[in-house]
A and B are shown apart, each in its own frame.
Chain A
Amino acid sequence: MGKLLSSPKLLAIAIGVVAALLISVAGGALGASFGFGWFGGPIPFISLPAERVAYIGSYPLLNTTVMFWFGGLILIFLAWRATRKMSDVPSGLQNLFEVIYEFFGNTVDGVAGGKAKAGRRFLALVSTIFLVVVIINWVGILPGVGSVGRIETIEEWVHHHLPKVEAKVQEKHPEYTPVQTEAAALVHLLEDHGEDTFVAFDGSIVPLGRGEQARVPLNKIITFSESGLHQIEEAIHDGDDLDGLPLLDSIHSDIKKGVVQGEFVYKGQDFKGKTVGLLVPFLRGASTDINTTLAIALVAMFTVQVWGIRALGVRAYGGKFFVNPISQGPIATFVGILEGFGELTRTLSFTFRLFGNMFAGEVLLIAMAFLLPLIGIIPFMGLELFVGLIQGYIFAMLTLVFGVMAVASHGDHDTHAGDH
């Protein structure tokens, strides 16, 4: 403390940091409830499945796919730069790659039995998994990822949600015609999601207002009443001609317009007539999509089986899972079956570990950007960098441990127990 007071430079830095923190707290959602909150944006829509950003023919291109390709390109570029001009005394990028290679070279040998080159066959996949997972985790928290996107209009939103409801209606009432099914699904959708909120935009992608209160519920965008919906339902039930219903027509036209119809005033600002929608990010961290993590887990576990079969042969490796109950006893058979299920649960736990960690990290960053914008979020960015690295390391190490367990024959069970 004395050192801090005696040095004006340190003191200035300390005061600056505290002031920045105060500004960040007051500017966020916490400050918004006391009348401050200059930087608070609306909470983005948190979506578990990846968003579709474009279509190639009829094939939807997901934002997580784009990000995975981007991560792959970065990795290829780095590897090319590191090996382009190699020297005997490594420096820079070459040095970094050599450190990673050496670290994993020593680790695989250590885990595979301690002899030199004992773990050679595991090295390629294990270090690849590490590099890929770390890179896709890290590019996922670059600025702009998950926050820059386009507005999904109400029309598109209805278009995406309707088929699910339509399928449900069709199951319940197979006798409905397609027009009736669509109308019934629309009624259900409005009933279920009438309170769902959307962000109002100022024509561009700048959201209006601040904080959560600036979100407009669906029933202010599409005007309908309970009794009106009942009328439509009755008309569908009676098999009336649906073309003549004025409410259904107005609902359709409201969906097409996608602007705030009813009165919605927030902080003296009338939102009537403003465009409404959801932000669909162009980019999103690849490991926040469960399909990515499942794909990596399947590659890892499939290769583990290949290693086992190549080391022991089909008979001996299969003998780990299928044990003869007469010669070995029923308990050994049961243990063998459990071992087989273990391979499946390992795949699942690989998938959920990475996905859960990275998705939770994304939600944490979103929540923190909402609560403590500008400065307050920086420590959490650092935390996410660390989590990304650790998850890559864990994914690689577990693949290695499972691989070593698979190639070990029945007699020499290792001490590397690593089951859950």
Chain B
Amino acid sequence: MDAEATKYLGAAISIAVGAIGPGIGIGLLAGKAMEAIGRNPEATGPVQQNMILGLAFAEAIAIYALVIAIIILFV
């Protein structure tokens, strides 16, 4: 395997593995938020706001993996 191939593989693996955790996390978060809204529709506003904040934290981890992949590919 030459260096170029390892580079592409490394980038693909880093984003593929790095997206698993945040994917699960975002699913859990949104699921729980939907549940909360279903139980208490009046609280939709604050629940949504806090959900988006939580999503940002979960998503940030996927973005770190993406940044690593981009750095491997283009730097």
Contact = CB atoms under 8 A, between A and B. Distances in A.
Given A352-B60, A356-B63, A360-B66, A401 B74 contact: no
B72 to A, nearest CB: 11
Contacts of B56: 353, 390, 394, 398
Nearest to A290: B67
Given A46-B74, A355-B67, A356-B67, A420 B57 contact: yes
Contacts of A360: 63, 66, 70
A418 B64 CA distance: 18
B75 A48 contact: yes
A359 B73 CA distance: 13
B15 to A, nearest CB: 10
Contacts of B74: 46-48
Nearest to A401: B53
Contacts of B60: 349, 352-353, 356, 420
B75 A393 contact: no
B71 interface: yes
A359 B70 contact: yes
A394 B54 CA distance: 10
A48 B64 CA distance: 15
Nearest to A48: B74
Contact of A418 (B53, B59, B67): B53
A397 interface: yes
B29 interface: no
A312 B53 CA distance: 27
Contacts of B37: none
B70 A393 contact: no
B53 A352 contact: no
Contacts of A420: 57, 60-61
A420 B55 CA distance: 11
Interface string B46-60: 000100110011011
A359 B53 CA distance: 21
A219 interface: no
Nearest to A419: B57
Contacts of A349: 60, 64
A361 B18 CA distance: 18
Given A349-B60, A398-B56, A356 B71 contact: no
B71 A352 contact: no
Contacts of A401: 53
Interface in A358-384: 359-360, 363
A397 B63 contact: no
A223 interface: no
A357 interface: yes
A47 B73 CA distance: 10
A353 B63 contact: yes
A397 B49 CA distance: 10
Contacts of A48: 70-71, 74-75
Contacts of A418: 53, 57
B75 A352 contact: no
B52 A398 contact: no
A356 B57 contact: no
Contact of B64 (A46, A356, A363, A397): A356
Contact of A394 (B53, B61, B64, B71): B53
B3 to A, nearest CB: 10
Nearest to A420: B57
Contacts of A357: 63
A390 B48 CA distance: 13
Nearest to B4: A195
Pairs of residues from A and B, 7 with the lowest C-beta to C-beta distance, nearest first: A356-B63, A394-B56, A353-B60, A356-B67, A48-B74, A420-B57, A356-B66
Interface of A: 46-48, 349, 352-353, 355-357, 359-360, 363, 390, 393-394, 397-398, 401, 418, 420
13 contacts: A47-B74, A48-B75, A352-B63, A352-B64, A352-B67, A355-B67, A356-B60, A356-B63, A356-B67, A357-B63, A360-B63, A390-B56, A394-B52
